[in-house]
Amino acid sequence: MVSAWKAFIIIVLLAVCALLIDIPEGLRVNFAVGPFKVDRVVNPVSINTTVFGLNIRKEFRTRLGLDLAGGSHIVLNADMKDIPDADRLSALESAKEVIERRVNFFGVAEPVVQSAHTKDTYRIIVELPGVANVEDAVATIGQTARLEFREFTNPSLATEGAMVIPSVQNTKPAGLSGKELKRSELTFSSENGEPQVAVEFTEEGKKLFGEITGRLVGRKLPIFLDQYPVTWPRVNTAITDGKAVITGGFNREQAKMLALQLNAGALPVPVSVIEKRTVDASLGSQSVSLSLRAGVIGLLVVGIFMISRYGKLGILADAALIIYGLITYAIFRWIPVTLTLPGVAGFFLSVGMAVDANILIFERFREELLRGKPFNLAMELGFGKAWDSIRDANITTIVTAIILYNPGNWQFLPSSGLVRGFAATLLIGVLVSLFTGIVVTRTLIRVFYKPGKKGKSN
């Protein structure tokens, strides 16, 4: 019983922490009990501390998707007629990367930028929650990427020891741009196997690059994309064959991203808007209100059913269900998960699976009691035998959720943001339900539940 009480205390602390994270922004508490009065605005907890010199800052807010918060939905078509077939997917990803970076500069919270490719159609889908002016959004993200090589105006800033980040103000054009860059790609050094980025220039670019590197030996050569510095490698020697490598202690992902950024200028893909629309925030508010109302009614019905069917066990199951909801929503805010209407549906579906686990456990528990087993033994056997069914049912759901989420961005699987929102909330909900169904419910029974007469449940 001591271990059960320890587990119970840990669960209570976990639930309290989750409750502090779940507090809505700007919640006003106003009540009076005799002479004691409270009137204040309560916000969720936030983290702002320093650990081993590392500043950790975290604010917990509910992120709403386009369908709930309102905003702009834009579909761009990429014109690939001048791009070789072998380079089209790379060009599409490069354009997507540029647009995603521009959206981040635009100041949009939780944007969704994804590419879509079917046969000869190449598209980029952009969702901007909270951006009501779709025309401004199109003007910001729909331009063709511009890659430019620049040099420091002050030679002392371009030396190896100078720790200066290049900017438009402290650099000037070097006379070379993205139109002279033929391609860039991720490669690996033949000497040490480290990732690097190989670049190749056109015939015209070869001459320009040779002249630039010849006069900038020992200095840094900043490379800008849309007036933003992406890298500033040091020129070790004059390069006259139009081929060079950029090194700098990259890991594989960093080198791959740099290659994509350079290709964005080397392979400028004209994009045209084929769909743009504004989602009214009032529609989102109405959807949230109706969804929450349906969820509350559903939870009340489930709670009443559990109590009427299982008595005290049902009360404990409802308590476990409340803890499940607090923990799951806290995880949504911690990550944070962008909640969409399908995402809310995924959460409510996982609630049903959490209740289903308790039903399996209680029915197995009753069966063991009817067979004459002592109460404690019947409870442990009930949990043990129900685990096989719970495990199998949840594993299949987890696999389905992972497939729907499509973490590898495979073309033959769904890539819609709404589908992924549903899959993300369902996956998190199912994983938490395994914890609450097996650990929380069992602990509550061990601590609070006492058998009725002759060891029967009540």
CATH assignment of the domain containing 402: 1.20.1640.10
The reply to whether 180 and 130 lie within a common domain is: no
Residues 253 and 377 in one domain: no
Last residue of a domain, one of 247, 278, 309: 278
Assess whether 306 and 450 both reside in one domain.
Answer: yes
For residue 236, the domain's CATH number is: 3.30.1360.200
Instruction: Give a three-class secondary structure readout of the chain.
Output: CHHHHHHHHHHHHHHHHHHHHHCCCCEEEEEEECCEEEEEEECCCEEEEEECCEEEEEECCCEECHHHHCEEEEEEEECCCCCCHHHHHHHHHHHHHHHHHHHHHCCCCCCEEEEEEECCEEEEEEEEECCCCHHHHHHHHCCCCCEEEEEECCHHHHCCCCCCCCCCCCEEEEEEEHHHEEEEEEEECCCCCCEEEEEEECHHHHHHHHHHHHHCCCCECCEEECCEEEECCECCCCCCCCEEEECCCCCHHHHHHHHHHHHHHHCCCCEEEEEEEEECHHHHHHHHHHHHHHHHHHHHHHHHHHHHHHCHHHHHHHHHHHHHHHHHHHHHHHCCCEECHHHHHHHHHHHHHHHHHHHHHHHHHHHHHHCCCCHHHHHHHHHHHHHHHHHHHHHHHHHHHHHHHCCCCCCCCCCCHHHHHHHHHHHHHHHHHHHHHHHHHHHHHHHHCCCCHHHCCC
Q: What confidence category does residue 12 fall into, taking pLDDT thresholds of 50, 70 and 90?
A: very high
Structurally, the chain folds into a number of domains equal to 3
More confident residue, 13 or 343: 13
Q: Which residue has the higher pLDDT, 2 or 77?
A: 77
191 shares its domain with 138: no
Among the listed ranges 64-68, 91-95, 323-327, which one has the minimum average pLDDT value?
Answer: 64-68
What pLDDT digit, counting tens, does each position of 325-380 carry? Answer: 999 999 999 988 888 888 888 998 888 888 888 899 999 988 998 888 888 888 88
**Same structural domain for residues 295 and 388?**
yes
**Residue where one domain finishes, among candidates 278, 298, 314:** 278
pLDDT grade for 450, boundaries at 50, 70 and 90: confident
Which pLDDT band holds residue 455 (cuts at 50, 70, 90)? very low
Residue 26 domain-assigned? Answer: no
The answer to whether position 207 is within a domain reads yes
Evaluate whether residue 114 is within a structural domain: yes
Compare 47 and 439 and report the one with higher pLDDT. 439
**In a domain? residue 340:** yes
pLDDT above 90 coverage of the chain, percent? 24
Residues 255 and 170 in one domain: yes
For the chain, what is the mean pLDDT?
A: 83
- Position 401 in a domain: yes
Same-domain status, 307 and 351: yes
Q: Are residues 71 and 134 in the same domain?
A: yes
Task: Determine the average pLDDT of the residues in 205-221.
Answer: 91
Average pLDDT of the residues in 88-117: 75
In a domain, residue 6? The reply is no
* Mean pLDDT confidence for 65-81: 85
pLDDT for residue 104: 65
Residue of 139 and 111 predicted with greater confidence: 111
Q: Which domain holds residue 366?
A: 283-455
Structure confidence by residue, pLDDT tens digits, 148-198: 899 998 888 877 667 788 888 899 999 888 878 888 888 988 888 888 889
Residues 199 and 121 in one domain: no
Q: Is the pLDDT reported for residue 223 higher than 50?
A: yes
pLDDT at 271: 85
Q: Does one domain contain both 98 and 133? A: yes
In this prediction, residue 267 carries a pLDDT of 47
Tell me if 42 is assigned to some domain: no
199 shares its domain with 325: no
Which pLDDT score, from 0 to 100, does residue 140 have?
64
Highest mean pLDDT among 73-87, 129-143, 251-265: 73-87
* Residues 86 and 162 grouped into a single domain: no
Whether residue 261 is contained in a domain is answered as yes
Of the three residues 208, 234, 266, the one that is the final residue of a domain is: 266
pLDDT of 69 strictly over 90: no
Q: Which CATH number do you get for residue 96?
A: 3.30.70.3400
State the average pLDDT over residues 419-423: 87
